[in-house]
Amino acid sequence: MKKVDHIVSLEVYSSAKELNEADLELLNKAKEISKSAYAPYSQFYVGAALRLKSGKIITGSNQENVAYPSGLCAERVAIFYANAQFPTDEVEAIAINAHAEKFDVSHPISPCGSCRQAIAEYEIKQKKEIRIIMGANTGEIHVCSGIKSLLPFMFNEEELKND
């Protein structure tokens, strides 16, 4: 037996003012689109904004459903739409932001497991990492250079090949 340690790194910014211009622009787009969230059940309004290689910015917000599992997170709404509309345009970065009705969202929004898996899929597809900018209504902003920081030991498609 041997022990394997996986090192995960995250850039921690104390406020949006510390971000570079491109990250800040994307985070602001995520904040803006969070206003369009359809979240009558959680009242937790999430926005996601993607920057594509062409410079296009694609945004999405969470869409809930009375049958709860039928709803979808903001990140997947945005990344599925981007890949449906512009399948050959690479995703360079995704920013996530949220606000809530009853409390201040002061901790950076980190994508759920299913969204991490979806982001991982498009990294595999384009053979390039996707920068992830995780913001909140107030407080710190966390940035990582790709999904490997959020999904260590992820499923490897090589395992599907059995020749």
Q: Which residues bind ligand THU (CB under 6 A)?
A: 39, 42, 44, 46, 62, 64, 71, 73-75, 96, 109, 111-112, 115
CB of 91 to ligand THU, least distance (A): 16
Which CB atom, from 34 or from 83, has the smaller least distance to ligand THU? 34
Rounded-to-integer distance, Cα 96 and Cα 108, Å: 8
CB of 20 to ligand THU, least distance (A): 23
Verify whether residue 32 is a known catalytic residue.
no
DSSP string, 105-151: --S-----HHHHHHHHHHHHHHTS--EEEE--SSS-EEEESSGGGTS
* Active-site hit among 75, 101, 123, 158: 75
CB of 40 to ligand THU, least distance (A): 10
CA distances from 150 to 44, 48, 104, 111 (A): 22, 17, 24, 9
Catalogue the active-site residues: 75
